[in-house]
Structure 1
Amino acid sequence: MTLRICLYSDPVTLTSPPRLLLVHAHPDDESLWTGGTIARYSAHGVHVTVVTCTLGEEGEIIPAGLRELAADAADQLGGYRVGELRSACAALGVTAHRFLGGIGRWRDSGMVGVQANEHPRAFVRGSVDEQAAMLADVLREVRPQVVVTYDAFGGYGHPDHIRAHEITTAATAEVSDIDRVYYAVTSRDATEQGAAALAGMADLPFRLPRPGELPVTDDADITTTVDISDHLSAKLRALRAHSTQVSVWQDGAGGASYALSNGIAQPVVREEFYVLAKGTGAGAETDLFGGLG
């Protein structure tokens, strides 16, 4: 059956519900980078699949009462974060989730130059070809029109983000029926404006970012801006679910911010931003699926 739907900026005709697949490195990345986008498209009937590459075992733990879960103690953080991820996916409306290669196949590699890079199951120690083949199998099964991951720098240089980019690039090159591939990025303008607004909020519990401290992309390079203003509450619920990694603050008057373990305030903005890496850009200015039919 052919479906005529008007979920996007322009009507499109598809022979099955639209399918979006996102490749993320760790639990919490889906919410931090793309939470509003996931919630928006899930709410509009799009089949959304999230692929997470590791369990995030090397993450820094914010709540003092949970710090014995850390990799250098009980090493149970990965299992705990699986529960956080399930709660976040529920908040965002995701019902299709995969761990690359199965749960626990690949381990969080940690930041550049740390001992965790050498763990036998570290994501960055694995074969790019093997990992890309695993992802290609998922792509063939799910058959997404649109795939999202990070840019070549992984957004901010994390080795696992860079590897996720590498295997997604390889897998989407092998699977030919994907219409578009996007990189999730953060806007320089939106980040600077959001940080400036935070400076005027009373009782903000986090340190304000210094100029240039947060990773951003020049707006001239951004091809697609997705309005998530109607789905900010879902994104904030998902961020709260990742309580070992993310602290969320709201002032009760519409102001909101979050911080990672470094305690640096980050703004919660009303759009999420993408760079089109593969496929035609016609109609894609405000909609990942715009113009596809």
Structure 2
Amino acid sequence: MTQASGATGDATAGGRRLLLLHAHPDDESIMTGGTIARYLAEGAEVRVLTFTLGEEGEVIGDEWSQLAADGGADQLGGYRILELTRALAELSPAGGDVLRPRFLGGAGRWRDSGMAGTPSAQHPRALVQASPEDLVDTLVAEIVDFAPQVIVTYDDAGTYGHPDHMLVHETTVAAVPRALPQLPASGLKVYESVTERAALDAGLASAAGRVPDGWRMPQPGELPGYPESAITTEIDVTAYVPQKSAALAAHATQVTVAASGTEYALSNNILQPVFDHEHFILTGRWGGRATEMSDGTDGVRETDLFSGVG
């Protein structure tokens, strides 16, 4: 099974292990879908660990609207497990092992908190109500079990300020030092998944003439982005854009993919590009062949998350 646990070995092909930490189903495809597909195709072991079921997501369309937390049934989280299962299958290599969902503490342990200040944040099972010790202990156990050489998380702003995203970042920062003494000596690198402003601007400029009916272009500065100088690592996922778009489409309650396959929108109908390069900031590295690694400060970006480990 691609999502093996308790793996050991070096970071050569077949021994590389990538752990991606996400807050809700669909985040994995939006932020890192191409990276997941590329490293699975290259034979790496990949684990996508999602912290909640995304119960508070805003449902697009009427078909599944009553599943939403405010729609009566409050069954959206269970349905989004299905969407995540379908999305990860789209990102898996044809004819190979199919990546399966995995949830921190098991499916349903913690609940989507919704945005700051909303009633959902006061739910007793909301992620933001969880004991920090419980979150960190549970994540440490996952990291030790999988023994990754690379961990991908969010930036301290949680990408766009969502409390669950911010908590994923905080939990990662606290858990990694505790897990390190129990990991192999092959090295560990930690990245934040981010959007490069230049890539965003280029993608929006390219899409300007094909905005689907009912969608709109974002206002200047409405979507988050980092300057080119901040980016340390750029992964070329051009060959995997069709898989990434299919994975986004699998999250149909949350995401609409344009007919072009190169743009998508959430429930707000704001157009966003489907990037053919995904961007990261290297924020921590321990062990490995550190002298072989660039951190972007020399103007040369890494093109492989596993560079220098193993």
In the superposition, the TM-score normalised over structure 2's length comes to 0.86
CA change 1:35–1:191 in 2 (3 A) is same
Q: Tell me whether 1:192 sits opposite 2:198 in the alignment.
A: no
Q: What's the offset of the Cα at 1:16? A: 6.1
Q: What's the offset of the Cα at 1:292? A: 2.1
C-alpha distance in 2 between matches for 1:37 and 1:15? 15
Pairs aligned (count): 279
C-alpha distance in 2 between matches for 1:272 and 1:204? 27
Contact 2:13/2:42 (<8 A) preserved: no
Q: Tell me whether 1:261 sits opposite 2:264 in the alignment.
A: no
C-alpha distance in 1 between matches for 2:257 and 2:211? 15
CA change 1:15–1:108 in 2 (3 A) is same
SS, match of residue 234 in structure 2? strand
Root-mean-square deviation (Å): 1.7
Q: What's the offset of the Cα at 1:259? A: 0.2
AA partner of residue 92 (structure 1): L
Q: Tell me whether 1:212 sits opposite 2:221 in the alignment.
A: yes
Equivalent position of 2:28 in the other structure: 30
AA partner of residue 152 (structure 2): V
Q: Tell me whether 1:88 sits opposite 2:83 in the alignment.
A: no
AA partner of residue 229 (structure 2): A
Equivalent position of 1:246 in the other structure: 255
AA partner of residue 200 (structure 2): T
Q: What's the offset of the Cα at 1:97? A: 3.3
Q: What's the offset of the Cα at 1:35? A: 0.3
Q: What's the offset of the Cα at 1:276? A: 0.4
SS, match of residue 36 in structure 2? helix
AA partner of residue 117 (structure 1): A
C-alpha distance in 2 between matches for 1:249 and 1:202? 8
200-209 vs 163-172, which moves further: 200-209
Equivalent position of 2:5 in the other structure: none
AA partner of residue 288 (structure 1): L
Q: What's the offset of the Cα at 1:205? A: 5.0
166-175 vs 239-248, which moves further: 166-175
Q: What's the offset of the Cα at 1:201? A: 2.5
SS, match of residue 158 in structure 2? coil
SS, match of residue 258 in structure 2? strand
1:43 paired residue among 41, 44, 52: 41
Q: What's the offset of the Cα at 1:15? A: 9.4
CA change 1:288–1:21 in 2 (3 A) is same
SS, match of residue 71 in structure 1? coil
Equivalent position of 1:159 in the other structure: 163
1:282 paired residue among 290, 293, 304: 293
210-219 vs 111-120, which moves further: 210-219
Contact 1:129/1:167 (<8 A) preserved: no
Q: What's the offset of the Cα at 1:250? A: 2.5
C-alpha distance in 2 between matches for 1:265 and 1:204? 11
Moved over 6 A (4+): none
Contact 1:20/1:144 (<8 A) preserved: yes
1:110 paired residue among 107, 114, 133: 114
C-alpha distance in 2 between matches for 1:184 and 1:265? 20
C-alpha distance in 2 between matches for 1:236 and 1:282? 31
Instruction: Could you tell me which runs of 5 or more consecutive residues in structure 2 were left unpaired when the two chains were aligned.
Output: 1-9, 93-97, 295-300
SS, match of residue 283 in structure 2? strand
Contact 2:17/2:45 (<8 A) preserved: yes
Q: What's the offset of the Cα at 1:211? A: 1.1
19-28 vs 165-174, which moves further: 165-174
Q: What's the offset of the Cα at 1:153? A: 0.6
Q: Deviations over 1:10-57 (max 9, x none)?
A: xx9649610000010000000000000000000000000010000000
Q: What's the offset of the Cα at 1:238? A: 0.4
83-92 vs 206-215, which moves further: 206-215
Q: What's the offset of the Cα at 1:291? A: 2.5
Contact 1:204/1:249 (<8 A) preserved: no
Q: Deviations over 1:153-174 (max 9, x none)?
A: 1011000000001111111111
AA partner of residue 233 (structure 1): P
C-alpha distance in 1 between matches for 2:116 and 2:171? 18
SS, match of residue 64 in structure 1? coil
Q: Percent of aligned pairs with the same residue? A: 50
Equivalent position of 1:9 in the other structure: none
C-alpha distance in 2 between matches for 1:266 and 1:208? 8
SS, match of residue 33 in structure 2? helix
Contact 1:198/1:204 (<8 A) preserved: no
Instruction: Could you tell me which runs of 5 or more consecutive residues in structure 1 were left unpaired when the two chains were aligned.
Output: 1-11
